[in-house]
Amino acid sequence: MNLESSVLLKRIITINGCRDNCYLNVKDGVIHSITEKKIFDNEIVDFSNLTAVPGFIDIHTHGYFGVDATYSSEEEIHRWAQMLARKGITSFIPTCVSLPLETMMKFINKIRSASLHQKEDEARILGMRSEGPYISLEQKGAHNPLYLRRPDIDELRKIIQAAGSSLFIIDMAPELENFRESLEYLLENNKVVSIGHSNASYSQAMAGIDSGARLMTHFFNAMSPLKHREAGMVGAGLLSDSVYLEIIGDMHHVSREAIKILLKTRDIDHIIGITDSLSIGGTTSADAKLGGLDVIKKDGVAWIRDTNTIAGSILTMDTAFQNLHEIVSDPVNLTKIFSTNASKALSLKNTGYIDVGMDADINIIDDHMKVKGTMIRGCMIGDVK
CATH number assigned to the domain comprising residue 211: 3.20.20.140
Q: What is the pLDDT of residue 2?
A: 57
b/e per residue 27-42 (b: at least 16 CB within 10 A): bebebbebeeebbbee
The pLDDT score that the predictor gives to residue 341 is 98
Give yes or no: residues 145 and 192 share one domain.
yes
Q: Total domain count for the chain?
A: 2
Using CA atoms, how far apart are residues 307 and 253, in angstroms rounded to an integer?
Answer: 15
117 and 11, same domain (yes or no): no
Chain segment 121-160, per-residue pLDDT in tens: 999 999 999 999 999 999 999 999 999 999 999 999 999 9
The closest alpha carbon to 331, from 91, 5, 20, 7, belongs to: 20
Residues 230 and 112 in one domain: yes
How many Å separate Cα 265 from the centre of its chain? 22
Q: Which residues contact 376 (CB under 8 A, 6 or more apart)?
A: 55, 85, 90, 120, 121, 122, 123, 124, 360, 361
Domain span holding position 364: 4-53+354-381
Please indicate, yes or no, whether residues 179 and 42 belong to a single structural domain of this protein: no
H or E, element range at 289: strand 287-290
| CATH number of the domain within which 44 lies | 2.30.40.10
In order, the DSSP letters of 65-134 are TTEETTTS-HHHHHHHHHHHHTTTEEEEEEEE-S--HHHHHHHHHHHHHHHTS--TTSPEE-EEEEEEEE
Where would I find the beta strands (DSSP E) of 126-263? 127-134, 167-172, 192-195, 215-216, 244-248
What pLDDT was estimated at residue 281? 87
pLDDT digits (tens, 9 = 90+) for 319-329: 999 999 999 99
Interior angle at CA 95, CA 291 and CA 153, nearest 5? 85
73 and 189 together in one domain = yes
Q: Are residues 31 and 126 in the same domain?
A: no
Between the alpha carbon of residue 356 and those of residues 22, 106, 108, 134, the distances in Å are 14, 39, 33, 41
pLDDT band at 297 (very low <50, low <70, confident <90, very high): confident
Burial of 128 (0-12, 13-18, 19+ CB in 10 A): buried
Quick one: DSSP state of residue 163?
H
Residue 39 has a pLDDT of 87
Three-point CA angle 301, 108, 120, nearest 5°: 80
- Predicted confidence (pLDDT) at residue 384 exceeds the cutoff of 70: no
- Secondary structure letter of residue 222 according to DSSP: T
User: Residue type at 209?
Assistant: I
Residues 32, 151: one domain? Answer: no
Tell me, what's the pLDDT at 69? 96
**Do residue 320 and residue 361 come from a single domain?**
no
Mean of per-residue pLDDT scores for the chain? 94
Residue 29 is given by DSSP the state T
For 312: left if phi > 0, alpha if psi spans -120 to 50, otherwise beta; the answer is left
Prediction pTM value? 0.96
Q: pLDDT tens for residues 247-294?
A: 999 999 999 999 999 999 999 999 999 999 999 888 877 677 787 888
Residue 232 has pLDDT above 70, yes or no: yes
Does residue 214 sit in the same domain as residue 322? yes
Element (H, E) at 333: helix 331-335
Query: Are 162 and 126 within 8 A, CB to CB?
Result: no
Answer yes or no: do 238 and 125 share one domain: yes
204 and 88 belong to one structural domain: yes
The stretch 162-170 carries a mean pLDDT of 96
Distance set, CA 243 to CA 199, 209, 212, 338 (Å) = 18, 7, 9, 16
Residues 190 and 259 occupy one common structural domain? yes
For residue range 171-215, list pLDDT tens digits in order. 999 999 999 999 999 999 999 999 999 999 999 999 999 999 999
Q: Give the separation between CA 348 and CA 311, rounded to whole angstroms.
A: 29
The set of long-range contacts for 348-351, using a CB threshold of 8 Å and a minimum separation of 24, is 348/57, 348/91, 348/126, 351/54, 351/55, 351/57, 351/90, 351/91, 351/124
Q: Is the pLDDT of residue 44 over 80?
A: no
Distance of CA 300 to the CA centre of its chain: 20
User: Residue 137: helix, strand or coil by DSSP?
Assistant: coil
Number of Cβ within 10 Å of residue 119's Cβ equals: 11
